[in-house]
Amino acid sequence: MSGGIAAYKAVEVCRRLVDAGAHVSPVLTRAATRFVGELTFSALASEPARTSLWGNDEPIPHTRLGQGADLVVVAPATARLIGAYAAGISSDLLTATLLATRAPVLLAPAMHTEMWEHPAVVDNIATLRRRGVHLVGPDAGRLAGGDLGYGRLAAPEAIVDAATALLAPSRNDTRGLQALVTAGGTREPIDAVRYIGNRSSGKQGHAIASELASRGADVLLVTASELPGPPGVEVERVETAAEMHAAVTRAAAERDLVVMSAAVADFRPKVTVAGKLKKADGVPEVILEQTPDILAELGATRRPGQILVGFAAEALGPGAQPEERLREFAEGKLRAKRADLIVANDVSAPGVGFAHDTNAVLIVTADGYHVPVPLADKGAIAAAVVDAALAYGSRRSSPPGR
Ligand code: C5P
């Protein structure tokens, strides 16, 4: 708890977490103790409340608390707490614990609308999100002093639901698997300000990285997207096809599963003009050249046993038998790239592909399976892709008849 008027609702959060079977170690900032009593939490939680780095019965409480936690929930999280955490300043027990933990962190912000919308808070929240910190709320509603607006602490049951979801036991069926996932659309510079890009958002690739990590895999995500890195995923940010090529080439040999969900540019300007092309100099001629085909290169050079998944975005448009055309297209790509699985989608269909939160795909495998996955959110599609890759891997390691 940090010090906001909403701290009284943390009593309810604490009680519900204890009821749900959690071991709750309460930590209050000094300001929080002005709103709620330390004793209340000591009585309700699983161990006495702590309020200070100093004067405890143990010399370094923050490391025990941080290292021992499966989840750290900060409710309410004030603007000050959010700022200190984003800046890595550990001036009290709560911020020190936040820096000493590798567990997922869930923040439930609560503050006045003006503070929540202040550029400093907006930036700090963006920074924390990028680092994989989870948020619940804030909601709109009545604030301290009777004002109405955005910034109200999420309801205790919503905070507990979010905590429970983060603690849900994972399937762990990718435990020990070394995975590499690419995501986003590359940008190929024309000059210092312009680039050739594409409409890929990176949502599907990030969802796959997140799915693999939540099921136990060790995941490196090479991304050209600005989306936050999913929790527990190592992230390498790149911009161009050349940078993605270098990052993937460095990492691929060590990986058991490579999922190339990035929309890598097929062509790039042959030269990047230093500075900015001037309109007054007339219409420039931009000569393009081919980029390295990363997936095809991996397909040609990979070690036996590695599973290689490629994506194929097709704009089928209107016409007969779209499913068959998509399958033929995907199977062609499977052979051309020597991949094990191709995840194909028709980006011209409603709700499918680039920038949407939903997708519909057809997964084809090198051993002749096709798995159509109807329109679903990108998390569900990610789960289907991971399932298909694992099933393919187990068929390959124990072929029928052996
Ligand atoms: O050939 P096409 O671009 O349609 O193939 C798509 C698949 O190939 C995707 O998995 C994409 O990540 C990968 N790709 C690549 N390098 C490129 C172009 C595409 O790895 N230069």
- For 247-299, the pLDDT digits (tens) are 999 999 999 999 999 999 999 999 999 999 999 999 999 999 999 999 999 99
Residues with Cβ within 6 A of ligand 1? Answer: 241, 260, 262, 264, 266, 291, 293-295, 310-312
As given in the structure block, the two tokens for residue 219 are: 């995941």
Phi, psi of 174, deg, nearest 5:
-115, 15
pLDDT band for position 144 (50/70/90)? confident
pLDDT digits (tens, 9 = 90+) for 237-249: 999 999 999 999 9
User: What is the C-alpha to C-alpha distance for residues 89 and 8, in angstroms, rounded to an integer?
Assistant: 25
Which strand ranges, in their side-by-side order, compose the sheet holding 72-77?
72-77, 105-109, 134-135
pLDDT digits (tens, 9 = 90+) for 104-115: 999 999 999 999
pLDDT greater than 70 at residue 61: yes
Give the residue, 358 or 274, on which the prediction is more confident. Answer: 274
Q: Is 290 helix (H, G, I), strand (E, B) or coil?
A: strand
* Atom 9, ligand 1: residue with shortest CA distance: 311
pLDDT greater than 60 at residue 402: no
Q: Looking at residues 200-226, what average pLDDT do you find?
A: 95
pLDDT over 70, % of the chain: 99
pLDDT digits (tens, 9 = 90+) for 176-196: 999 999 999 999 999 999 999
Mention every residue, 6+ apart, whose C-beta is less than 8 A from residue 165: none
C-beta atoms surrounding 60 within 10 Å: 12
> Residue 297 CA: which ligand 1 atom is closest?
20
Measured in Å, residue 385 CA sits from the centre of ligand 1 at 17
User: What is the C-alpha to C-alpha distance for residues 111 and 266, in angstroms, rounded to an integer?
Assistant: 47
pLDDT of residue 166: 86
Measured in Å, residue 311 CA sits from the centre of ligand 1 at 7
pLDDT of residue 82: 98
pLDDT of residue 170: 67
Average pLDDT, the chain: 93
pLDDT of residue 321: 85
* Atom 19, ligand 1: residue with shortest CA distance: 264
Give the active site residues: 198
> Residue 313 CA: which ligand 1 atom is closest?
4
* Atom 8, ligand 1: residue with shortest CA distance: 295
Cα angle: 104, vertex 163, 230; to 5 degrees: 40
Alpha helices for 234-356 (secondary structure H): 241-252, 294-301, 322-337
Orientation of helix 79-87 relative to helix 119-130, angle to 10°:
50
Q: Tally DSSP H helices, then E strands, for the chain.
A: 13, 17
pLDDT digits (tens, 9 = 90+) for 78-106: 999 999 999 999 999 999 999 999 999 99
Measured in Å, residue 293 CA sits from the centre of ligand 1 at 6
> 340, 307 in Cβ contact below 8 A?
yes
> 181, 252 in Cβ contact below 8 A?
no
pLDDT of residue 371: 92
Measured in Å, residue 264 CA sits from the centre of ligand 1 at 6
pLDDT of residue 229: 86
Q: Looking at residues 230-235, what average pLDDT do you find?
A: 88
The pTM of the full predicted model, rounded to 2 decimals, is 0.66
Q: Is 106 helix (H, G, I), strand (E, B) or coil?
A: strand
User: What is the C-alpha to C-alpha distance for residues 372 and 394, in angstroms, rounded to an integer?
Assistant: 20
pLDDT greater than 60 at residue 136: yes
DSSP code for 154: P
First to last CA, the chain: 59
3-state secondary structure 171-228: CCCCCCCEEEEEECECCEECCCCCEECCCCCCHHHHHHHHHHHHCCCEEEEEECCCCC
pLDDT of residue 397: 87
> Residue 296 CA: which ligand 1 atom is closest?
20
* Atom 21, ligand 1: residue with shortest CA distance: 293
Measured in Å, residue 45 CA sits from the centre of ligand 1 at 53
> 92, 29 in Cβ contact below 8 A?
yes
